[in-house]
Amino acid sequence: MGLYKRNSSQFYWMSFRVNGRRIFESTETTNKKLAEKIYAKRLTEITEGKWFQNEARKRRFEELREKYMTEHSMINKTPTTQVRDISAFKRLSEFFGGLSLINITPSKISDYKSLRITKGIKPATISRELEVLRHALNLSIQWEWIETNPFSKVKLDKPNNQIERWITSEEEKCLLDVSVSWLKEIIVFALNTGMRQDEILSLQWSQIDLIRRTATLLITKNKEKRTVPINQPLALR
């Protein structure tokens, strides 16, 4: 198809392939000779492997953030995780805001880590923030905005999610004594099943099997179906 005109546009458009994928792009000119030069330049950039560099210069952090939130986070993540993504991007925007994707380099990412550490932020929190950016940049490879992810040269600290703290019987009694009636039921359910707040509040009677004494979770944090046993104290309530 090469260079062509669209009925819906006054400009000449280009059609070319990158890594087997058909790309359509406006030349943003009505001059045919200029459009031909722009098209020839684009083909040269693709041949020399420079097309991704131009896309990375053109796309900015804000565009990456908006596309990730609207096309991935809001569709694939739970409301609680969406809020965490928004919070992470708020912090990331303070440092990466206004940058082109080509300027989000391993060195820049390391500078962000160092800055957050000097502010007394825990390494696990910093890693969670950067994990959102890492994932967004991975998706931008699929969107053909960048060719490689700068995080391939950056090591992120893995947060320790193991919980060693257990609530005692005395602490449980004190907690229930100061809780309103409707909240007590939720607390008791959480203490006896280990289920998260979202899982408990979204639970339906159709997911409860009193004969087998199980609760089937259809939507979990990991997007997997999970069966939780209902113990004797909870069953008797």
What pTM did the predictor assign?
0.56
Q: Contact at 8 Å (CB) between 111 and 104?
A: no
Distance from chain centroid for Cα 219:
18
Evaluate if residue 200 carries a pLDDT over 80. yes
Q: Which residues pair with 217 in a beta bridge?
A: 226
Q: What tokens were used for 73?
A: 């986070």
Q: Contact at 8 Å (CB) between 34 and 27?
A: yes
Give me the amino acid identity at 113: K
> CA-CA distances (angstroms) from residue 69 to 3, 49, 87, 157?
34, 29, 12, 24
Give me the pLDDT at residue 99, please.
92
Domain 61-153 maps to which CATH number in 3.40.50.300, 1.10.150.130, 3.40.225.10, 3.90.420.10? 1.10.150.130
Q: Contact at 8 Å (CB) between 98 and 64?
A: no
Average pLDDT score over residue span 168-177: 87
Fold of 169-235: hpI Integrase; Chain A (1.10.443)
**pLDDT tens-digit series, residues 152-172:** 888 887 765 555 667 888 888
Lowest mean pLDDT among 37-46, 98-107, 125-134: 37-46
